[in-house]
Amino acid sequence: MSRQKIVIDPVTRIEGHSKISIHLDEQGHVEEAYFHVTQFRGFEKFCEGRPFSEMPSLMARICGICPVSHLVASAKACDAILAVQIPENAARLRRILNLAQLVQSHALSFFYLSAPDLLLGMDSDPAKRNVFGLAEANPAVARDGVRLRQFGQQVIEWLAGKRIHPAWVVPGGVSDPLTAEHRDRILAALPEVRGIAERTLDWFKNSMEQFREEIRTFANSPTLFMGMVGPDGSLEHYDGKLRFLDAGGHIVADGIDGAAYADHIAELAHPWTYLKTSFYKPLGYPDGVYRVGPLARLNIIDRVDTPKAAQEWAEFRELDRGAVLSSFYYHYARLIEILYAIEKIEHLLQAPGILDANVRAHARANNSEGIGIAEAPRGTLMHHYKVDRDGLITWANLIIATGHNNAAMNRGVLQVARHFVHGNKLSEGMLNRVEAVIRTFDPCLSCSTHAGGRMALEVELRSADGAVLDRIAHG
**321-366 tens-digit pLDDT:** 999 999 999 999 999 999 999 999 999 999 999 999 999 999 999 9
The list of the chain residues with pLDDT below 70 reads 1-2, 41, 64, 423-424, 448-475
What pLDDT does residue 21 have? 86
Contact residues for 312 (Cβ-Cβ < 8 A; gap 6+): 201, 335, 336, 339
Q: How far apart are CA 36 and CA 21, in angstroms?
A: 8
Sign of the C-alpha dihedral computed for residues 146, 152, 155 and 159 taken in this order? negative
What pLDDT does residue 78 have? 98
3-state helix, strand, coil in the chain (%, to 5): 45, 20, 35
What pLDDT does residue 2 have? 59
What pLDDT does residue 167 have? 87
Give the global pTM. Answer: 0.91
What pLDDT does residue 34 have? 83
**Of the candidates 436, 303, 297, which has an alpha carbon nearest to the alpha carbon of residue 378?**
297
